[in-house]
Structure 1
Amino acid sequence: MCNLKLCECCIVQQPLPLRSKSVKGSKDVAVGSYFCMVVLDWEYQARTQTKAQASAPFWGEKFTFSNFPSSLKTLMVVIYQNERTFTGGSKEVPVGKVSISVDTLAKTESFTQWCSIEDMKSNNFINGSLRLELQYSHEVVRPTEDYTELVNCLSYPDVLRCLNVMIPPKQRERTAKHMLKIYRARGEADRLVSSLCQIEIASTDNPNILFRGNSLATKAVDQYTKLVAMAYLHQVLTPIITQIYNCTESCEVDPTRLNNNQTQMAENWKRLLGFTEQLQKDAEGHFQEEENIRYTVIAGVFFLRFIVPAILNPKLFNMMPGHPSDTVGRTLMLVAKTIQNLSNLVLFGAKEPYMNPMNVFIESNLEAMKNVIDRLCWTRENEELSPPPVIDEGIEMAMLYRVLVNIGRGLVNYQEENKGEDIEPLLVALGEIKNLMFHG
């Protein structure tokens, strides 16, 4: 199996040559509009959005390609420009290309580099560079039954405690995704997450930092929340995020950014409060019918790691097609700051004094926020969950196996240093799969 992930492409080092043949005096927005096509072995696979009137466009789009043959040789990104024609129409003209050999990618798990752009015809380099972030993996996928014992090990507390420690920080999100997809396909994702949460709670002395770190349990909770709550997120946030995207006026309230223009600040505060109040009402109204630490723990999972990131980056959560403008981005930042403080049940203070006027809103909504969190904690008996998505268990198991094999020496050392814990079943399962790879 071959995976290629085009994480990001943007042109900022040198402007692309504007080659448009627009009619004199025309203000057609297609002039200077660029997009990229992703090509694998001369077959077009994906297209970015078009960025209008840009000589240094930023796309920031991600694509994942799976199940391509091992014969794949070349990844190419072709940059196109919408050109204005003399007849009043437009045409898509290739400006240049960047080609990456799969052999180059195979030498490293990730590839991040500014790549010179070649002319499509002459292969000479032109005035511009393209930044690519690529991840590549080539997996040997065994029959799912070959991974049975490995998957069974993930239900053992000793194994989960070990993985929570031994999985490198940069690999924890990826590992959590593989584990959750495997268990989700079996209808047991909640059991896996529950086991990881119990380990996280038992190993944490300060409850205020529960699920706010970079542990495997925290990453699993993040991924599980996205699996089960994405529909809720879209229902609650998309309407207000759309309003903010469509608003061309600023909500800036930092006086250092407004030259102390009090009239403008008053108008901006009115708009910002309007957006924030609407978001709070939407979140509370979606639900129909202890101690503060209880609220901050749930808030840390649901709001700080799910709602707030979605407000800051709606495109990442598939709520909006493109990245926000600078003005919209700043509005989203201010709304997110407010929701974060409200979910933490704390007021703004000396760190950001310009936000202190928002404390009136926070104080008046503290009980409403607790009410939302209470209802998030409700469980319904016999509630039917949506059916699990179609998941290729074999691929997920193969990728999880590779993550664990890469830390094999560390697992052995962990077993030797922690005699009271038994991860021998995991080591045996990994060894059996390795034997099958070589002799099966």
Structure 2
Amino acid sequence: MASAPSPRRPSSSRTPAPRRKHPSSSANQFRVNVDVCLSAKAAGALRKPTVLYKRSQDRLEKSGESSRKSMDINSRKVKEKTSWLSLGRHAPTEQWKPAICQLIHEDDACILHIYLDETVLYQSIYVYFLNHTDIRPVHHSLFDRKDCLGIYCVPGQMWCAVPSSDPVFLHFPDGETLNLWLALLRSYAAPEVYGHWLSPSDGGLYRMWRQIELTCLQGRNLGTPRPLAPSGVGGGGNGGGGGGGVPDDPSSLAAGEPEGGGGGGARGEADALDMDVYCELFVDGCLCGRTTVKRGLGAPDWLERFVCADLPPFETLEVVVLRERRTARPALVGVVALALVNFRRGEHVDGWFPVVAPAAGAAAPAQTGELRLKLRVDEEIILPSAEYSGLLQTFASRNSLDWLLDLESRLKLKNTVPHHIISIAIAQEKLVRDIMELADREVDGTLSSHNTLFRGNTVLTKTVELFMARYGGGFLEASVGAPVRRVCTDRVAIEVDPVRSGKGARSTEKSVEALVYWCHEFWAAIYDARHACPPEMRTLFEHIRRLVESRYGRHDEQNRDLPAQSVSAFCFLRFMVPAILHPHLFGLWPGLPDARVQRSLTLIAKVIQNLANLNASVQKEDFMRGVKDFLISSIPNMVNYIVVVSTPEPQSPSPGSPSPVDKTDRLRIMHALRQRGHAAPVLYREVIPLLPHVLDLPRHLAVVSALVVRYARARNYYPATPIHSGTGDDLDEFCARCLQVEERALLRVSQLASRPRRQPSQPSISSPLAASIPLPPSPTSPVKIPARRERRISLPKSPKLPKRFARPSTAPGTADSSPRTEPESMPMSPTSDPGQTMLSHSAPNAVESMPPPESDRTRSLRRPSAPFAKQPRSSSTDSALGRRATGERLTRSSTRTQEASNDSTDDSSRKRKSIFRGILRR
């Protein structure tokens, strides 16, 4: 039996591991069944049979025979005619095969073995060589699969039976298993922690977290080339570093008006090409997402959202627009290149960005349309949890939903902070209790709230929406996932309105029959999944039902159905029905459905909502009267459904609960995570996500404090009283706590900048791994991953900048070691307000030419109270990429991240050109 490949095995070796049986499980071994993605090259190499020859004469004869056969075949091929039917038949670029993953932990070394066919060792990954950012979930659009995990390693960090530099993609059976193994693998990887030698007890001074949220809204004039203005060629302006013409007054462009170039908007619509287009998203050359294919005539709508979390240091975001062709490979339309350094952190930017086709030969670059994108870039410093104790204590003093109400009404934090507030409440196990308490206040029993109970957009209803989305994903999939996909796949077109269809009565009757049929299909799927309702949702629904019963009474004829309707107001009006109307927003369908399919889903959703209201009468639209019989016959089952989902049943496990074997494995993994957490320093322990919801409490607190400070400054909100003064409102104390966290973050960043390493050639290892473990010899962030469709994209090359070592983007520059005033440390951004801003421009540097508003020029932190007086600005709350005093543009490369961050790469003989080259390594 051959032994497993050692960690020092050279990556250039092409000898595959022999067939062997994986060892049995033990306390330090974990196994899971997955599907592994094989590239076309790897799949072909594994299928290729090995030809053995016993004698050299046989080899010569075989060689001569094969050469003669090849000549005959080639001669026959010359005479054959090519068929156009074969032009579009491309071999798939990847295959998914069942595999077994086995994680082995021995002597402070952790190796992940991947076996094919249960016995063939295909790949070994040295997990202790990886960073946390190298192990992250994959967006479902890449492979049309959910619950996929990507391991971005290079040959120096893995061994493979088939030489390959591609990342490893694993598909897990469900989301719970994915989260479990994500936490397990990251517990053996190295987090991005800075300042080991300055705070050994905590494992470092701070760690970093990065995320990009991009929504591709729509496009216009795609494929219609027009020349670029001379000033826009090669520009790297504000957020659109790809070139483009610059209008004299960017603010004069309306959101829906194409920017002119000779022909104006009418000509732009006339010249629009009829083609199928889609977009691919690249972060520093790494493919992170792919939109669906849309017709490019006019303005195609996508409305598809991508969230790329836990990223390594990034520099550019590229949205590549491609044209889908049936008889050939996709063709490049253009690229939207965005320099992420130009975007202020934590703010939404919504605007039109130019699609630039790269220069081909002697031809100059040209603009080939525009994309409307909504982008948000997050990059935050995360301190040890002890630094957030005061903020967490203040947060726990009130209902978490009250904080949401204050932040929304007074600081206008509407779309950014609720997710993090809810995550903090879940981590403290108080969310359900807080929702119940707020529901007790809202249900007052008066007649004025009788008809509007739980139907307005209040903090309570919006929080319950997020609550159901967090806990009820599997429940929603089991209820309406299959019928929604059937309607979208079959392109079901239903129209029961004679005015819309323009057809006769017979056609309308057939449409009504089709509507009734699909309503039966949806309702049957929903009713069959009633027992899959999560216990958290059942507890909340039970409290709401009993609360309404006690306040309004059940014996009153007018209020008899009110308790059931109050439950359906959440379960259907704010959960099931929106998922039917917009399946792409709930992960039930990859993109925006076709217009006719959308109309069919709208009609079905109306009927299901009437059923949830226990209302069999159809009074609004005469053409909907055909479904009355369906409503009357289904109301009794709806009443039973509401009773089931609002009655907790802790003794009976849900259908989706794991089997006893899976439960045993889960307990073993949880025990291993606890053991590793106890032995690890603070920052290393806290970076392991909390299961089962994959929460990072210090990260959520860091984001909330940064948002509060940023929005408070933007709106000139100054706390009037200091902390623990006993007077003033609660929001003042909360803002003061957030600013206190800001001060501590700035102090730690300044401490890292002012105290260089004591021994640059000898790293200070404070991780739970032993000091004798070798660090990775290669960078961990790949520059490219294989796309689902095999293609090569020629992107416009940006001018090369001088090579510099990567550093944490929140660390101050040479002139930043001492606190500075705010206008010096705060870079300007494409938006002048922390809220969402609509931009319309045709060139990347169009926004840069806009003069900053007066409120941004004079954002000094003059505070009337002592805690806010002369507070220096930390770059972690506005932009993690603070502007350097010398005006140099910061450059980072994903291929140099590991070199800059690992202590083992320090060379004592290397000359330091600045003080920050050596102190900002991990």
TM range (shorter): 0.7 to 0.9
For 1:62, what is the secondary structure of its paired residue? Answer: strand
Cα offset for 1:244? 1.6
Partner letter of residue 366 of structure 1? I
Counterpart check, 1:336 vs 2:594: no
Which residue of structure 2 lines up, in the alignment, with residue 180 of structure 1?
Answer: 422
Corresponding position: 1:164 with 2:405: yes
Deviation, 1:390, is: 1.8
Paired residue for 2:586?
317
Q: How does 1:301-316 map to 2 (within 5 A)?
A: 301-316=570-585
Change in CA separation of 1:60 and 1:170 when aligned onto 2, cut-off 3 Å: farther
CA RMSD of aligned residues (A): 3.5
Q: Which residue number corresponds to residue 814 of structure 2?
A: none
After TM superposition, the structure 1 = structure 2 runs for residues 384-423 of structure 1, keeping only pairs within 5 Å, are 388-406=692-710, 408=712, 412=719
Shift of 1:100: 2.2
Per the TM alignment, residue 331 of structure 1 is displaced from its structure 2 partner at its CA by: 0.8
**Structure 1: how far apart are the matches of 2:289 and 2:375?**
15
Is 1:139 paired with 2:383?
A: no
Q: 1:313 to 1:325 in 2, by over 3 A?
A: same
Query: Are 1:82 and 1:91, in contact at CA under 8 Å, matched by a contact in 2?
Result: yes
Which of 266, 271, 281 aligns to 1:38? It is 281
Task: Show CA shifts across 1:16-65 (max 9, x none).
Answer: 259xxxxxxxxxxxx94432221223443332234478685443321112
Cα gap change, 1:349 to 1:246, in 2 (>3 Å): same
For residue 574 of structure 2, what is the amino acid of its counterpart?
Answer: R
| Contact 1:150/1:426 (<8 A) preserved | yes
| Change in 2 beyond 3 A, CA 1:15/1:7 | closer
Distance 1:140 1:151 in 2: 17
CA distance in 1: counterparts of 2:303 and 2:499, whole angstroms: 30
**Structure 2 runs not aligned, ≥5 long:** 1-208, 226-273, 533-553, 555-559, 658-690, 749-922
Match of 1:14 in 2: 221
The aligned runs of 1:237-316 (5 Å cut-off) are 237-287=480-530, 290=554, 291-316=560-585
Aligned partner of 1:101 among 339, 342, 346:
339
Q: Which shows bigger deviation, 142-151 or 317-326?
A: 142-151
Asked whether the 8 Å contact 2:317–2:340 carries over to 1, the reply is yes
Q: Alpha carbons of 1:388 and 1:360: their partners in 2 closer, same or farther (altered >3 Å)?
A: same
Distance 1:52 1:14, change over 3 A: closer
Please tell me whether the aligned partners of residues 719 and 733 of structure 2 are also in contact (alpha carbons under 8 angstroms). no
Q: CA deviation at 1:273?
A: 0.4
The 8 Å contact of residues 185 and 390 in structure 1, kept in 2 or not, is answered as no
**Given that residues 158 and 421 in structure 1 are in contact (C-alpha distance below 8 angstroms), is that contact kept between their aligned partners in structure 2?**
no
Aligned twin of 2:290: 47
Report the Cα distance in structure 1 between the residues aligned to 2:387 and 2:598, rounded to whole angstroms: 48
The counterpart of 2:353, out of the listed 100, 115, 119, is 115
Q: CA deviation at 1:260?
A: 4.7
Give the 5 Å matches for 1:51-130.
51=294, 57-68=300-311, 72-83=314-325, 90-106=328-344, 109-121=347-359, 124-130=365-371
Q: Could you say if the C-alpha distance between residues 285 and 434 of structure 1 is closer, same or farther in structure 2, counting changes exceeding 3 Å?
A: same
Q: Is the 2:581–2:602 Cα contact (8 Å) retained in structure 1?
A: yes
Distance 2:721 2:449 in 1: 25
> Is it true that 1:197 corresponds to 2:439 in the alignment?
yes
Report 1 or 2 for greater relative contact order, CA contacts < 8 Å, sequence distance ≥ 6: 2
- Which residue identity does 1:436 align to in structure 2? R
Partner of 1:27 in structure 2?
A: none
Q: Which residue of 628, 634, 639 maps to 1:370?
A: 639
* Amino-acid identity (%): 24
Larger Rg: 2
Does the 8 Å contact 1:201/1:210 carry over to 2? Answer: yes
Contact 1:173 1:220 in 2 (8 A): no
- Equivalent-residue separation in structure 2 for 1:127 and 1:395 (angstroms): 40
| SS in structure 1 of the partner of residue 417 of structure 2 | helix
SS of 2:478's equivalent in the other structure is helix
Supply the distance in 2 between the matched residues of 1:160 and 1:287 (Cα, whole angstroms).
28
Contact kept? 2:211, 2:379, Cα under 8 Å? yes
Q: Which residue of 644, 648, 657 corresponds with 1:379?
A: 648
Partner SS, residue 418 of structure 2: helix
Q: Using the TM superposition, give the Cα deviation of residue 312 of structure 1 relative to its aligned residue in structure 2, in angstroms.
A: 0.6
- Aligned counterparts of 1:318 and 1:117: Cα–Cα separation in 2: 28
Q: In the alignment, is the contact (CA less than 8 A) between 1:16 and 1:55 conserved in 2?
A: no
Which 10-residue stretch deviates more, 111-120 or 344-353?
Answer: 344-353
Please state whether the residue corresponding to 2:304 is helix, strand or coil: coil
Q: 2:738 aligns with which of 410, 423, 430?
A: 430
For 2:452, the equivalent position in structure 1 comes to 209
Counterpart of 2:213 in structure 1 is 5
TM-superposed CA distance for 1:232, in Å, is: 1.3
**How far did residue 131 of structure 1 move?**
1.5
SS at match of 2:583: coil
Cα deviation for residue 164 of structure 1 reads 1.7
Give the aligned residue type for 2:349: F
Cα offsets for 1:253-273 (capped at 9, x unmatched): 111123251111111111100
What CA distance in whole angstroms lies between the structure 2 residues aligned with 1:55 and 1:355?
33
CA distance in 2: counterparts of 1:405 and 1:429, whole angstroms: 10
The one-character-per-residue Cα deviations of 1:70-91 (angstroms, maximum 9, x if unpaired) are 6x4332211122456xxxx632
Contact preservation (8 Å) 2:278, 2:322: yes
- Unaligned residue ranges in structure 1 (runs of 5+): 19-30
**Residue deviations 1:381-405 (CA, integer Å, cap 9, x gap):** 4677985222233322222223333
Q: Verify the 8 A CA contact 1:32 1:53 in the aligned structure 2.
A: yes
Q: Which amino acid aligns with 1:65?
A: C
Please say if residues 9 and 58 of structure 1, whose CA atoms lie closer than 8 Å, have aligned partners that are also in contact: yes
SS at match of 2:585: coil
Secondary structure of 2:530 counterpart: coil
Matched AA of 2:709: V
Contact 2:479 2:528 (8 Å CA) reproduced = no
SS of the residue corresponding to residue 692 of structure 2 reads coil
CA contact (8 A) 2:706 2:738 kept: no
Match of 1:171, SS state, is coil
The alignment's TM-score, normalised by the length of structure 1, stands at 0.82
Separation of aligned partners in 2, 1:383 and 1:432? 47
Q: Helix, strand or coil: the match of 1:212?
A: coil
Q: Distance in 1 between matches of 2:432 and 2:710?
A: 27
Specify the code of the residue in structure 1 equivalent to 2:622: P
Tell me if structure 1 keeps the 8 A contact 2:705–2:742: no
- 1:230 to partner: Cα distance: 1.4
Q: 1:356 aligns with which of 601, 625, 646?
A: 625
- Distance in 1 of aligned mates of 2:649 and 2:629: 35
Distance 1:185 1:406 in 2: 24
Letter in 2 for 1:79: V
Given that 2:304 and 2:584 are in contact with CA atoms closer than 8 Å, whether structure 1 keeps it comes out as no
**AA of the residue aligned to 1:94:** L
The TM-score with structure 2 as length reference comes to: 0.42
1:8–1:133 contact (8 Å) kept in structure 2 = yes
**TM-superposition CA deviations, 1:156-177 (whole Å, max 9, x none):** 3367435424424963453221
- Structure 1 CA distance for aligned equivalents of residues 736 and 276 of structure 2: 56
CA positional deviation for 1:3:
2.8
Judging changes above 3 Å, is the alpha-carbon distance between structure 1 residues 65 and 143 closer, same or farther for their aligned structure 2 residues? same
